[in-house]
Amino acid sequence: MIQSSIHEFIAAIREAGYTLKVTPSKTLKVIHPSRPLTDEERQFIREHKPDIVHALSRESPGPDDTPADTPGGPGLDAWRRRYIEREQEGWTPERRQAQADEIQRIEAYRRQRGPRPSGPPAGSIPRAEVFAAIGAVMNRLGAIWPGGLDTDPQWQDRINAAAKGDRDTFLTAIREWEASETRRVNEYMDGIRREVAGWPDLYRRRFALMVQGFMNKDRGYGLTVPALNPNQAQEKAFNDLLPHIPAKEPDAPPAPTAQVRGTCREIL
């Protein structure tokens, strides 16, 4: 009954706006910004001060309960055990059983998985190095990539898988990725250049001037636009001029052949 009265008093005092604190020397402080305690409240505190201090100390660890040891030291472990024990004092049997069942599931999972050291797996590449290597390749490909060529989607999965392995595997995959995509860019641009090579001289000269213009971000009259890389500039000039290229004339019929009959040479 006394403990029940103590808890009821603490709850009522807090509801009235008071703050209850226990100092390291076990002194009880009752703080309110404006309202002083009544005589009855003061008398109750004087009569039951040890019980009130004990009840407040069980709610949360007091200043003298906190470990003076460094994190992870024996003082911290002892403080954690005391804190957990205080927290579990009011648990129901059902809650205790639920905790025991959860601990068993965790232990079974750990046994099935086996021991796993902390930190990244031995021989693996740090994430920062992975991102730096991928970023460097993307910068080099960005300097040559045309706008109309899609990337090869297979490489994203291959690079992600290689990044989980050792450094040699990852770096090999990175080199193969860059070589493969560079080869695709060259093949794409070679197709454009072969077709431009067959254009009339007038359009080939115009093509060269347009490429230089697209690579220059300063367009004059105070206009500045993003400069295109050489392949993007060639691709854009090609696409802009292509609709205006005159159709090729059909091939002329073959020239007549000459046949010799005796001493006469006839053209048939």
To which residue do tokens 């024996």 refer? 74
Evaluate whether 67 touches 79 at the Cβ level (below 8 Å): yes
d(CA 185, CA 69): 62
d(CA 204, CA 216): 19
Cα first-last separation, the chain? 133
Cα gap 187→191, rounded to integer Å: 6
* SS3 assignment, position 92: coil
pLDDT of residue 261: 37
Number of residues assigned to the chain: 268
Largest CA distance in the chain: 151
pLDDT of residue 255: 46
110: amino acid identity, one letter: R
Instruction: Name the 3-class secondary structure at 258.
Output: strand
- pLDDT value at position 206? 93
**pLDDT reported for residue 263:** 35
- DSSP strand pairing (218-220 vs 223-224): antiparallel
**What token pair was written down for 9?**
């008093």
Cα 254 to its chain centre, rounded Å, is 67
Kindly state the DSSP code that residue 248 receives in the 8-state scheme: P
Q: What is the pLDDT of residues 244-253, one digit of tens each?
A: 998 876 554 5
> What's the one-letter identity of residue 222?
G
Q: How far apart are CA 154 and CA 133, in angstroms?
A: 18
- How many Å apart are CA 44 and CA 37, to the nearest integer? 11
For residue 64, the model assigns a pLDDT of 44
Query: What pLDDT digit, counting tens, does each position of 166-178 carry?
Result: 888 999 999 999 9
240 with 251: CB under 8 angstroms? no
pTM over 0.85: no
Asked whether the beta carbons of 167 and 123 are under 8 A apart, the reply is yes
| Residue numbers of the chain with a pLDDT score lower than 70 | 1-4, 32-34, 59-80, 83, 86, 110, 112-124, 218-223, 225, 249-268
* Number of other residues whose CB lies within 10 A of the CB of residue 190: 10
Per residue in 126-156, pLDDT (tens digit) is 888 888 999 999 999 999 999 899 988 889 8
